[in-house]
Chains A and B, each alone.
Chain A
Amino acid sequence: MTFMTKILGSAAALALSAGAALADPALIYDLGGKFDKSFNEAAFNGAQKWAEETGGSYRDIELQSEAQREQALRRFAEAGFNPVVTTGFSMSSPIAAVAADYPDTKFVTIDGFVDPGEHPNVLSILFSEHQGSYLVGIMAAQASESNTVGFVGGMDIPLIRKFACGYAQGVKAVNPDAKVIANMTGTTPAAWNDPVKGSELAKAQISQGADVIFAAAGGTGLGVLQTAADEDILSIGVDSNQNYLHPGEVLTSMLKRVDVAVYDSMTAGADLETGVKVLDLGAEGVGYALDEHNADLVSAEMKAAVDAAREQIIAGELEVHDYTSDDSCPALSF
């Protein structure tokens, strides 16, 4: 009997250690693709940083279609990966559908929202994009000579409107008479990957007088930045630092520290605290990029104004309206 217990015990120990060895984190990229030089690439960079610092390993997958979302989540959860980190707002409903079936697996949705009351094993990480966009809006208004600035969004969803709204507020804070031209590329996920349309939108905005254009549009944004560089006006990148794409032609980039979110989630591992986490300016979740590629474009005055606004927002003296809170924007009509 003792022999039997021993065998069973060691088998159980083996099974446990096998499980532990497999408890690596997993990362699921959204349809934009791993190397979109923007949102998903930031996630990849965070995961790489974690892997290099800890020597750990992780698995990742690039989704190719909507149908794969739930499948990928289940595959990773079945294989014992923990936590399963996902990027993109579209992952919220697949996670809500899957989470209850794997109560021991922690799911992280970056940009998505899953009700923590219903699914205690899900962490929703949200960013205060409106605050970061407000900052780059201030810079855009100061850099603009024509008092007209542009915004090109990707797919027309509340999240992108949140960017546009924060940006418009920042612009109007500097110059109440400034004109903000806002366009969305489309209403389907194809809008994230249509640089040709991005270019045409940028050209249309330039012909209406815009001389700084903020692109929050994934792969489409690359077309916007390209056209802006070709036509010698300034552009503003998004999510990752995109200043290096056209040195001296990109005013700044609105940073969304998806890399930090991924890094933190992977570092916490299976002990991840679930719930809802909002990464705002104070938590360095959003910000603007300053490096050698745009140092000449950002004047001391501009930097002072942005940093002052940043302090005020963090201190709570300045409130930037969040479009998603009431689906309306005081500074811009869609």
Chain B
Amino acid sequence: MDLDTLIQVLDSTIRLATPLLLACLAGLFSERAGIFDIGLEGKMLIAAFFSAAVAFSTGSVWIGVLAGIAASLAMSAIHGLASITFRGNQLISGVALNFLASGLTVLIAQSWFSQGGRTPSLPDGARFAEITLPFAESLRDVPIFGPIYADLISGHSALVYIGFAMVPLTWWVLFRTRFGLRLRAVGEAPEAVDTAGISVTGLRFAAVGICGVLCGLAGAYLATGLQAGFVREMTAGRGYIALAALIFAKWRPWYALGACLLFGFLQAIALRYQNIDLGAFVVPVQVMDALPYILTVVILAGFVGKAIPPRAGGEPYVKER
């Protein structure tokens, strides 16, 4: 594999990893606060639809992104209401939201655009352009570093850079701020947080809200960054792969970056090489597609370190019995 091919594969990795990364960090905030969220897929889907639909109607991609975030936040609010306020089962609420998003997007798209559950193709102003970083062209001729900078680091849409910037930001918020300490505490021992006189409900709603915003960005990136429009079920299971990445990353932000890049890389390899010939035997493409899940199971089974979820995860907090 020469440098050019490597850069192309890594370039593809970055594009494929960004929606996973945003969704994975979204899940990280929510689960660290003790709210399991398997509705990442649904939130991404509804955000993808509303960002594309509003971007098409207004002609502005940023208004579209805001609409996508708003739609995703609305889903988060339902999830919060069901699982925090009414102490319902978080998994069931998440599954229900996935179904809701899947049906709702097609229904609204059909009555809005009458194109069979899709949005029309977005014109140029209504989708993200690729950003060329400064000096990308003039540095291109520098050996090794030049092509890496010009092709790999430069030339992505704004949401990619936002996504990668979210990793240190998430780390800083969770591990260096008072809010982050409380948020983690509420996922481990909510009664302790409550004893200290801090609202468990408030913190959990904040976490679910942040989750909504990040899922909104992930969905908007799919529909307005990678594609020019919404197609039904276009998330195609990426929310679940993000969940797998979250477990693989053991609920830590920097590990999440690594996991998402690894899963993105596996996908990029699978897309680039249909079957990989290792001389002695051929690795079929299906193996590459299944690897993220296999790796997650291996991690969960405890072969490589231990994945311990937040202790109070999945349990609604009851103040007094």
Point out residues on A near B: beta carbons under 8 Å.
33-37, 41, 182-184, 186-187, 190, 193-197, 199-201, 203-204, 207, 219, 222-223, 226, 245, 334
A184 touches B285 (CB 8 A): yes
A197 touches B271 (CB 8 A): yes
How many residues belonging to B are interface residues under a CB distance threshold of 8 Å? 31
B99 to A: closest C-beta gap in Å: 11
Residues from chain B with a CB closer than 8 A to the CB of A223 are 227, 231
Of the 9-residue stretches B32-40, B203-211, B233-241, B299-307, which lies at the interface with chain A?
Answer: B233-241
B233 to A: closest C-beta gap in Å: 5
Residues from chain A with a CB closer than 8 A to the CB of B182 are none
A125 to B: closest C-beta gap in Å: 23
Does B117 count as interface, using CB distance less than 8 angstroms?
Answer: yes
A35 touches B274 (CB 8 A): no
A222 touches B8 (CB 8 A): no
A196 touches B222 (CB 8 A): yes
Residues from chain B with a CB closer than 8 A to the CB of A201 are 271
Number of A-B contacts (CB under 8 A): 73
B117 touches A33 (CB 8 A): yes
Given contacts A183-B271, A187-B286, A201-B271, contact A33 B232 (CB under 8 A): yes
Q: Which 4 A-B pairs have the closest CB atoms?
A: A35-B116, A194-B236, A207-B8, A204-B272
CA distance A245 to B120 in the complex (A): 10
User: What are the interface flags for B174-210 relative to A under an 8 Å C-beta threshold, 1 for contact and 0 otherwise?
Assistant: 0000000000000000000000000000000000000
Residues from chain B with a CB closer than 8 A to the CB of A36 are 116
Which of A33, A196, A200 is B234 in contact with, Cβ under 8 Å? A196
B226 to A: closest C-beta gap in Å: 5
Chain A: interface secondary structure?
helix
B18 to A: closest C-beta gap in Å: 11
Does B157 count as interface, using CB distance less than 8 angstroms?
Answer: no
Residues from chain B with a CB closer than 8 A to the CB of A203 are 8, 12
Does B15 count as interface, using CB distance less than 8 angstroms?
Answer: yes
Given contacts A190-B236, A196-B222, A196-B236, contact A222 B231 (CB under 8 A): yes
Residues from chain B with a CB closer than 8 A to the CB of A41 are 116
CA distance A197 to B16 in the complex (A): 9
Residue of A whose beta carbon sits closest to that of B102: A64
B236 touches A200 (CB 8 A): no
Which of B5, B117, B227, B271 is A195 in contact with, Cβ under 8 Å? B227
A214 to B: closest C-beta gap in Å: 16
CA distance A245 to B229 in the complex (A): 13
Extra inter-chain contacts (17) besides given A35-B115, A193-B234, CB under 8 Å: A33-B106, A35-B117, A193-B232, A195-B227, A196-B222, A196-B226, A196-B234, A199-B227, A200-B271, A203-B12, A204-B268, A219-B231, A219-B232, A222-B229, A223-B227, A226-B121, A245-B121
Residues from chain A with a CB closer than 8 A to the CB of B236 are 190, 193-194, 196-197
CA distance A203 to B233 in the complex (A): 22
Residues from chain B with a CB closer than 8 A to the CB of A222 are 229, 231
Residues from chain A with a CB closer than 8 A to the CB of B232 are 33, 193, 219
Residue of B whose beta carbon sits closest to that of A35: B116
Does B315 count as interface, using CB distance less than 8 angstroms?
Answer: no
A154 to B: closest C-beta gap in Å: 12
B85 to A: closest C-beta gap in Å: 31
A195 touches B272 (CB 8 A): no
Interface residues of B in 104-147 (CB under 8 A from A): 106, 115-118, 121
Residues from chain A with a CB closer than 8 A to the CB of B268 are 200, 204
B289 touches A186 (CB 8 A): yes
Residues from chain A with a CB closer than 8 A to the CB of B117 are 33, 35
B8 touches A190 (CB 8 A): no
Does B266 count as interface, using CB distance less than 8 angstroms?
Answer: no
B228 touches A226 (CB 8 A): yes
Residue of A whose beta carbon sits closest to that of B225: A196
CA distance A183 to B118 in the complex (A): 25
B166 to A: closest C-beta gap in Å: 20
B231 touches A195 (CB 8 A): yes
26 residue pairs from A and B, CB less than 8 Å apart: A33-B116, A33-B117, A33-B232, A182-B274, A183-B271, A184-B274, A184-B285, A187-B289, A193-B234, A195-B231, A195-B234, A196-B222, A196-B226, A196-B234, A197-B236, A197-B267, A200-B12, A200-B15, A200-B16, A203-B8, A203-B12, A204-B12, A219-B231, A223-B231, A226-B121, A226-B227
Residues from chain B with a CB closer than 8 A to the CB of A196 are 16, 222, 226-227, 234, 236
